[in-house]
Amino acid sequence: MATPDPQGNMENKEFHVEDEYRYVRSGPVRWIVSHMMRHPAFPIILVVTSIVNNFAYGDIQLYIGHGFDVITRAGWLNRDLLAVVAVIVAAAATQGLTGVARNVAVEFLAQRVERDSREELYGSLLGKSQTFHGRQRVGDIMARATNDVHMLNLLFSPGLMLIVDSSLAMIVPFIMILAINPSLGLVPALFLVLLTITILDYNRRLQPVSNSQREQFGIMNSSLAEAISGIEVVKSNVQERYESNKFTQNARSFRDFFVKQGVIEARYWPMMAFAVCWGAALFHSLLLWKQGVVTLGQVIGFMGLFSTFRFATQISLFSFNLVQIGIASAQRILEFINYKTELDQNVSGRNARIDGLVEFRNVSFGFDEKPVLSNVSFRIEPGQTVAIVGQTGSGKTTLTRLINRIFDADSGEVLIDGVNVRDWTMESLRSQISTIEQDVFLFSLPVKDNISFGVPEADISRVEQAAREAQADQFIRSFKDGYDTEIGERGVTLSGGQKQRIAIARAFLTDPRILILDDSTSAIDSRTEDEIQQAMRRIAEKRTTFIITHRLSQIRWADRILVMRRGEVVDQGSHDELLSRSRDYRRIFAQL
């Protein structure tokens, strides 16, 4: 069943995070704000402490000016000056304490937003369909899940903190300047108008550069990830120089966007405007002093307050750049989170033990409007073993992936125990179907944890029993640490046959009701294959088994054989039946 997102849209997921916080995902800024408001205490502390901090700093400037009024007044006493000093010290202490509180609050907020957004993105990636993952570059996914998420951290700390503090460093002093005398507000008001116009224009020109910068980082990262993952292919084809040149070109393009950013920053003229306005403010305030409108101490206090605009002007160049990069990163993250996957978890669907009856009724399927399967129909009884044969590209693997809903049929029905697979809960369906593929994936975990990956609660005795049935126990025990041996990434420390046997042991341990073997013994020698096949026959007696293979020894003992050609099941039956009547089967059989 699809679930509504916060905007009322229907959202499909294969997997849902329990008690997921409902973020607003209609745009990057609203999404960032919704993350921030998940921890409302920290933004409140940030704003309140920044206000107090800036008022404290303003008081220091005012009382420095007031001190000049005291010492230029006839008959002033030491206690009058000490009172001024006491206020300045108290204001400075308040400024220091509130500064610490502000920094702590924003740092906690930044770390929690980074944590929450990374968890949200990871949960979303787990819920996406295989079609989605098949279209994405792993390096780009990693760039978004690591670097782009970290940019959200920098957006808050120091980005947001500097923007809030610098904004208040303009608003609070301006209010205090007006409190001294409204006439002093003329030049500051003019400067604030000019600064606002400049910042809006700066952000407008910077945004497309920031977006392109983040996109280019993803391209560079994905290219690097592909080269490292395929390093064996690169070396065997002597393409190190080609990959180096390609990465260098991507890195230069990434650098070029920083150069464009630098050009925009170099044309940022408010600091010059500040210098001009600072001089104008001094001239205007002295004229008012000459006219007796303000005192000399008020002129000094006014100039101290006006000087705070310098920090806000100078830091805006850096802080708004961080915000723009953070928003661009948020946009890239949201592209993945908001991607509508075709499959859903269907939490209210059927949840029962599978008997193993599998039926295809006029099933068709394709990728991006390119047909792969066309009008496929067959019925497999519980406990039967089915061999699927056909030329490369005939749709054998795709057919099996419709059974456990890695993909959904475009038309027709795939039924298990007479129930459409769409009407089963995803967890119930997939937990009772196990697939072993030729390209085995193993995790960087001990051997025992790789075998028990689907049944993490299994004790070591069950793990060892599954390994024995898969003819893996002997070579596992030959390792120095036995079942505790750490496997390298993707199983690089093991041979192809060892990886396949561990994968077979994993499938045996899950005790599936439907077992799919996709050329799973291709890297195993004949003797070991015979031993594994005996174990497979024992385990297949109680479950429905689909075998995709080119090995005659496995095809012969299947209860039924499906012959495929160009996405269609052109014939089906036993080995002897097909040998006598099917030209396609005889052609395939002759090549085995």
Q: Give exposure, 273-306, as e/b (b: 16+ Cβ within 10 Å).
A: ebeebbeebeebbeebbeeeebbebbbbbbbbbb
Could you tell me which of 133, 123, 1, 119 has the C-alpha nearest to residue 426? 1
The last residue of one of the domains, among 286, 308, 337, is 337
pLDDT digits (tens, 9 = 90+) for 447-457: 999 999 888 88
Residues 71, 186 share a domain: yes
* pTM for this predicted structure: 0.74
Residues 408, 332 share a domain: no
pLDDT digits (tens, 9 = 90+) for 460-499: 999 999 898 888 899 899 988 899 998 876 666 787 778 8
pLDDT number for residue 298: 94
- Look up residue 360 and give its DSSP letter: E
pLDDT number for residue 534: 64
The token duo for 14 is 């294969």
Q: Residue 138 maps to which CATH number?
A: 1.20.1560.10
Confidence of residue 527 (pLDDT cuts 50, 70, 90): low
pLDDT digits (tens, 9 = 90+) for 285-322: 999 999 999 999 999 999 999 999 988 888 877 788 88
Q: Is residue 342 part of a domain?
A: no
Helix 296-337 and helix 270-290, axial crossing angle in degrees, nearest 10: 150
Residues 574, 428 share a domain: yes
Helix 78-127 and helix 28-36, axial crossing angle in degrees, nearest 10: 120
Q: Is residue 345 part of a domain?
A: no
Give the CA distances from residue 222 to residues 80, 123, 195, 503, in Å, rounded to whole numbers and listed in that order.
Answer: 68, 21, 40, 28
pLDDT number for residue 2: 38
Which one has a higher pLDDT value, 316 or 402?
402
Residues 284, 188 share a domain: yes
Q: Is residue 353 part of a domain?
A: no
**To the nearest whole percent, how much of the chain has pLDDT over 90?**
40
Q: Is residue 343 part of a domain?
A: no
- Look up residue 486 and give its DSSP letter: B
Q: Is residue 169 part of a domain?
A: yes
pLDDT number for residue 6: 43
pLDDT number for residue 531: 62
pLDDT number for residue 14: 64
The token duo for 429 is 């369906």
Q: Is residue 351 part of a domain?
A: no
pLDDT number for residue 7: 44
Domains held by the chain: number? 2
**SS3 per-residue string spanning 110-144:** HHHHHHHHHHHHHHHHHHCCHHHHHHCCHHHHHHH
Q: Which domain holds residue 304?
A: 3-337
pLDDT number for residue 29: 92
Mean pLDDT of the chain: 85
Confidence of residue 402 (pLDDT cuts 50, 70, 90): very high
The last residue of one of the domains, among 284, 304, 337, is 337
Residue 92 predicted with pLDDT over 90: yes
The last residue of one of the domains, among 277, 305, 337, is 337
